[in-house]
C-alpha cells in the first residue's frame, strides 16, 4: 500500500461512459488551517475524507448530486462526556501541542476514540467541524463517519449548494520514514459502499502525499518520532519525549 502513483484518470471506467467528461480542478482543502494548532490526527482524517470523497464524485458531476449527496445532514453520535467533563482531555491535548511546537519534552499523546470526539466537539479551535465528524477506532483502523456541508464547493458546481456528503471512511494511519501514510480501506457514501473496482485503486493511494510535500508540514513532521493506531488508540510520539 505504498504506491503514490494513482493516476488522475484512475476512474477511466466512469469517464469512458461520458464522452463530454471534463475533469474538475483539484478540490481546495481547508485542512491547512488546522495544522497551525497541531491536531495531526484530525488533519489526516480530513485529508483522507477530502480526497476519498471527491474521487467518488469525479466523472459524475450533476448526476453525483442526487446519487451521492443528500439535502439534509446526517445526525452523528455525540461524545459521552459533557463539555465540562472533557476539560481534562482538552488540557492534555493543548499541553502536548504546545510542548511539541516549542521543543519541550513531553510524553506521547495517546487518545482513544471518545477523547478524539471530545476534542472535535468541544475544543474551540475545531468549532467549524464540530457535529460533522464522529470517530471510532477498530483495533488498528480509524473509522470516521461524516456529514460534510458542500456549500463551499460552489466554484465546482452550484448544484452542491445546500447538499451534504454523508458517509464514512475507514483509514489506516501511520508515519514511516518521516512521512505520513494514510490509506482508505473502505468508503461508504449515502449508505452505499464505493464499488470494489474503484476501491482497489483508491487503496493504493497515500492520501497524505500532498501534505508530505509542503515545507511547513515537513518541519512539523520532523518534531515527531511516530504516529500509529494500535489496540483501539492513536499514539503520537514526539522526538523530544520525556515525563511531564
Q: Nearest to residue 34, comparing CAs of 26, 44, 25?
A: 44
Structure confidence at residue 111 as a pLDDT band (50, 70, 90)? very high
Angle between helices 113-122 and 87-101 (to 10 degrees): 90
% of the chain beyond a pLDDT of 70: 70
Count of C-beta atoms within a 10 Å radius of residue 234: 22
Does residue 43 form part of some domain? no
- Stated pTM of the model: 0.70
Q: Can you tell me the distance from the alpha carbon of 164 to that of 151, in angstroms, rounded to the nearest whole number?
A: 8
* Domain extent for 71: 49-238
In a domain, 104, yes or no: yes
Digit-coded pLDDT (tens) for 184-223: 898 888 888 888 887 888 888 888 887 788 887 788 888 8
For the stretch 151-191, pLDDT in tens is: 766 655 677 788 888 888 898 988 888 888 888 898 888 88
pLDDT digits (tens, 9 = 90+) for 15-38: 344 434 333 333 333 433 333 222
**Residue 153, pLDDT score:** 65
Residue 32, in any domain of the structure: no
In a domain, 37, yes or no: no
**Domain total of the chain:** 1
In the structure, how many helices (H) and strands (E) does the chain have?
Answer: 9, 8
Residue 211 lies in a domain: yes
Q: Is 111 exposed, middle or buried (0-12, 13-18, 19+ CB in 10 A)?
A: buried
Which pLDDT value is given to residue 156? 59
**Is 243 contained in some domain?**
no
Q: Given this model, what pLDDT does residue 243 score?
A: 56
Residue 27 lies in a domain: no
The chain-wide mean pLDDT, for the chain, equals: 74
pLDDT classification of 9: cutoffs 50, 70, 90: very low
List, in order, residues 6 or more apart from 237 with CB less than 8 Å away: 108, 224, 225, 226, 227
Residue 169: C-alpha distances to residues 50, 83, 145, 154 (Å): 10, 26, 7, 24
pLDDT at 237 over 80: yes
Q: Is the pLDDT of residue 139 over 70?
A: yes
**14 lies in a domain?**
no
Amino acid at each position: 500500500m505504498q504506491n503514490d502513483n494513482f493516476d488522475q484518470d484512475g476512474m477511466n471506467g466512469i469517464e469512458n461512459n461520458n464522452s463530454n467528461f471534463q475533469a474538475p480542478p483539484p478540490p481546495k482543502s481547508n485542512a491547512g488551517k488546522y495544522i497551525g494548532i497541531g491536531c495531526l490526527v484530525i488533519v489526516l482524517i480530513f485529508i483522507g475524507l477530502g480526497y476519498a470523497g471527491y474521487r467518488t464524485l469525479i466523472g459524475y458531476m450533476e448526476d453525483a448530486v442526487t446519487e451521492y449527496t443528500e439535502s439534509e445532514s446526517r445526525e452523528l453520535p455525540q461524545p459521552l462526556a459533557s463539555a465540562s467533563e472533557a476539560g481534562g482531555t482538552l488540557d492534555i491535548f493543548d499541553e502536548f501541542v504546545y510542548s511539541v511546537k516549542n521543543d519541550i519534552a513531553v510524553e506521547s499523546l495517546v487518545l482513544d476514540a471518545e477523547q478524539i470526539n471530545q476534542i472535535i466537539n468541544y475544543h474551540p479551535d475545531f468549532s467549524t467541524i464540530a457535529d460533522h465528524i464522529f470517530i471510532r477506532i477498530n483495533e488498528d483502523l480509524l473509522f470516521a463517519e461524516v456529514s460534510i456541508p458542500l456549500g463551499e464547493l460552489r466554484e465546482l458546481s452550484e448544484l452542491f449548494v445546500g447538499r451534504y456528503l454523508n458517509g464514512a471512511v475507514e483509514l489506516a494511519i501511520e508515519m514511516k520514514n518521516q512521512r505520513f501514510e494514510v490509506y482508505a480501506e473502505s468508503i461508504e457514501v449515502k449508505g452505499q459502499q464505493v464499488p470494489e473496482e474503484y476501491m482497489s485503486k483508491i487503496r493504493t493511494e497515500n492520501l497524505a502525499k500532498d501534505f508530505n510535500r509542503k515545507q511547513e508540514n515537513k518541519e512539523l513532521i520532523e518534531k515527531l518520532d511516530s504516529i500509529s493506531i494500535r489496540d483501539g488508540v492513536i499514539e503520537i510520539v514526539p522526538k523530544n519525549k520525556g515525563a511531564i
